[in-house]
Amino acid sequence: MRTSLILLSARLLDPVTGAFLPQTALAAADGRIAALGDDREIRALADASTTVIDLGGAVVTPGLVDGHIHPVTGAELTHGLDLSGCGDLDEVRAALADAVRDLPAGAWLHGWGLDPNVFAGRPVGVAPFDAVLEGVPALLLLFDAHSMLASRRALELAGVTGPRAFDQATAEVVCDADGRPTGLLLEDAACDLVERVAPQPTREERRERLAAALRAMAASGLTGGHVMDANGDSLAFFAELDEAGRLPLRLRVAPWCQPGADAEEVRALVARQGVGGRLWRTDGVKIFMDGTVDNGTAWLEQPDGRGESRHAFWPDPEEYTRIVGALHRAGVPTATHAIGDAAVRHVLDSVEKALAEGGPGPRHRVEHIETVPDDTLRRFAELGVVASMQPTHCCDFTRADHTDNWSRRLGEPRASRAWRCRDLLDSGAVVVLGSDWPIAPYPPLGVMAGARHRRPTRDLDRAPHGPEQALTAAQALRGMTVNAAYAAGEEHGAGRIAVGHRADLTVLAADPLTVPATELADVPVLLTVLDGAPTHRSASL
């Protein structure tokens, strides 16, 4: 066994205890931590081929893992005009005007990250931008990636002139009282009507965008991600990058199961489990139970303030229950997007039925869990269901005074039950943290910071939304290390700094457990190590 990497003069942080290990150095071999000790004894394990790095007292944590991420989709959707920094309609119009001036004649304009709060309670539609986008085919993705605005010219080119019927229960071409499209398209089926007529990047361009995004993720301190889709060329891209030695993250991929899936499709999903390469594998199935609160497609036990969010994503929710049962019996873990209280309850009911009929099995999980009543909390621990949370959504898309679109739609008391990270933890649930990139930024220090301060990233002086739901620094770190490993069934070989565990490591310039929450996102990432090899190294090392 040849030692590939040695780290010296390190402070090795155990996320379970929140304390530093007594050792100051580690050695990695064959992708695992081979030895822990003092600098002298570990240095003695080096040979001519070993990379030796003196960290000068920097802090080493287990590799940070994003519990919910869409790297291929994100690399595609974040190409174009970034509208995420726009706070009102005037700022959006100004950004669009600048982009239109530089746009070649006939070209499509793509924007992303549009916050519906810029409409300040007015109906979300393309009308406020008609003058700027006259004659320009444009697609503006809203921040939730479940909805977009299409310009009048884009709708014309796509032949979308009125409402449509879709198999997806919550998909809609939103129209005005006269039946004319407003430009707002809800869910994939509706968005695809216009997207499919827009020019598409080449396959090579898409793969290189993905490679660049993954390199940036590694530089932010990420060593892994739980990938919540396997659409299109995703698996082929992962395989190609892995074989070429260009995959800088360890990826656990869950392909989608959509409404209408028959028994043969379910069997195919089961057969795909375990397919992968050195640094990626298919493990689990992603299912949608609802849409989003912001566009009125969540599934709530009582309609939202506009009379919407009344339906499940599945036209027949009991069909979802049957599929969860079939996957459970086959030993396949499920990860279900469930945002509204009715959606979360139905997922938990379905898992409970699967356990009763099929016995113990894989670890299922619920993604997002934006608002749930008290009686739902304890069921996560009772059923062994992992709670996968994205706290930066609460930070950046809602407000403490509940004047934001999400809170206005829900009203009280549901808006006061926002992203109950702490309540879920206190009830015994395993809470995994992630970004849901491209919905929110992927840097893991920002995700952990948001879980602690719950303030808008762009204005940290503003009041936190639900400060009682803030996590401690140690809880936030566990959410991206040991808990992420547990959710993947890898707690015995990942998520901690221990001999025999994976040599996936993140090295920081300061202790993430003592840095103030509002300063954590700015702590420099000095080194990222995946499988015993650096994927990012600061010039200061």
pLDDT tens string 352-381:
999 999 999 999 999 999 999 999 999 999
| pLDDT score recorded for residue 119 | 92
**Full-model pTM:** 0.91
Phi, psi dihedrals of residue 319, rounded to the nearest 5°: -70, -40
Contact in structure between 392 and 68 (CB atoms under 8 Å): no
pLDDT < 50 positions in the chain: none
Strand, coil or helix: what is 253? strand
Distance CA 20, CA 24 (A): 9
Q: What are phi and psi of 193, to 5 degrees?
A: -55, -40
SS (H, E, C) 348-395: HHHHHHHHHHHCCCCCCEEEECCECCHHHHHHHHHHCCEEEECHHHHH
Rounded to 10 degrees, the C-alpha dihedral 139/198/77/371 comes to 50
Residue 124: strand, helix, or coil:
coil
Q: Which of these, 43, 30, 38, 41, lies nearest to 10 by C-alpha position?
A: 38
Tokens 């600061």 — which residue? 538
Token pair of 7 as six digits: 């780290």
Strands 222-227 and 64-69: parallel
| pLDDT score at 150 | 95
The first and second tokens of residue 274, run together, are 């375990």
pLDDT of residue 292: 94
**pLDDT (tens digit per residue) in 14-49:** 999 999 999 999 999 999 999 999 999 999 999 999
Structure tokens at 34: 């081979």
Report the C-alpha gap between 155 and 49 in whole angstroms. 59
- The whole-number pLDDT of residue 117 equals 87
How many CB atoms within 10 Å of residue 121? 11
